[in-house]
Amino acid sequence: MRLQGKVALITGAGNGIGRETALLFAAEGAQVVVADVNRTAGEAVVREIEAAGGQAVFVRADVSKAADCEAMVQAAERSFGKLNVLFNNAGIMHSDDDNAVTTEESVWDLTMGINLKGVFLGCKYGIPALRRAGGGSIINTASFVALLGAATPQLAYTASKGGVLAMTRELAVIHAREGIRVNALCPGPLRTELLMSFLNTDEKKQRRLVHVPMGRFGEAAEIAYAALYLASDESSYVTGTEFMVDGGITAAYVTPE
């Protein structure tokens, strides 16, 4: 098992990438802290892990709140004795997120609070726990739009993920000598509820999909396997990276004739 003996904390673990990663990490031997703002969804993931013979606990956490982030890290150490892997995955893509003129300030602030500040707070409280464990891996969910402009305007989301990418690089440099690796996982367009509800028309879906050389949306489970590599000791010399799992979109982001 690739994560045997490790304790992993995953935010946004009730659905999408977080859920698939929690299930995979548990199957690979990790004890998992399932953190999510949605108690029903998060507890369902814990039950699924336990039914398969794994170990997990649920913690309700709004990652935009410092107290919740501190509490979720404390829960990991209290429940399983340590923290080895921190996956700052929780994020939103607001349906009213658009361009600079039409996006409301409240949408901007909400998006930044969860997508960017949430990663900062996860690291603020998670890094001391990783130090206590003798090092570990931090994985921050960014996006291909951190490197490219989005075909369908989502300015707050794009800016927040750009911030996650920049923060990841700096944290990787700061903590490299402490045995703490920090990488940004950059998914391409995925067939998740988050993106499908944002691309809520066939026209919007095709505008995004037409740029993907593989010709399809990715699956959350495919991102989970990338997270597994970054969480495991197999990636022991990998830090500060933009880990692209995008169906080739960043290699060929062009408008078709």
Count of domains observed in the chain: 1
The CA-atom distances, in angstroms, between 19 and each of 132, 169, 207 are 27, 26, 27
Of 125, 157, 229, 253, which residue is the catalytic one? 157
How many residues make up the chain in this entry?
Answer: 257
Alpha helices in the chain (DSSP H): 16-27, 39-51, 66-80, 105-115, 117-132, 155-175, 193-198, 202-209, 220-231
Q: Which residue has the tokens 């993907």?
A: 212
Q: Does some domain include residue 214?
A: no
Q: Does some domain include residue 200?
A: no
The verdict on whether 157 is a catalytic residue reads: yes
Domain of residue 126 covers 7-188+219-245
Please report, for the domain that includes residue 135, its CATH number: 3.40.50.720
The tens place of each residue's pLDDT in the chain, 257 residues long, gives 999 999 999 999 999 999 999 999 999 999 999 999 999 999 999 999 999 999 999 999 999 999 999 999 999 999 999 999 999 999 999 989 999 999 999 999 999 999 999 999 999 999 999 999 999 999 999 999 999 888 788 999 999 999 999 999 999 999 999 999 999 999 988 887 777 777 777 777 777 777 888 988 999 999 999 999 999 999 999 999 999 999 999 888 644 44
Q: Does some domain include residue 1?
A: no
Q: Does some domain include residue 236?
A: yes
Beta bridge partners of 180: 136
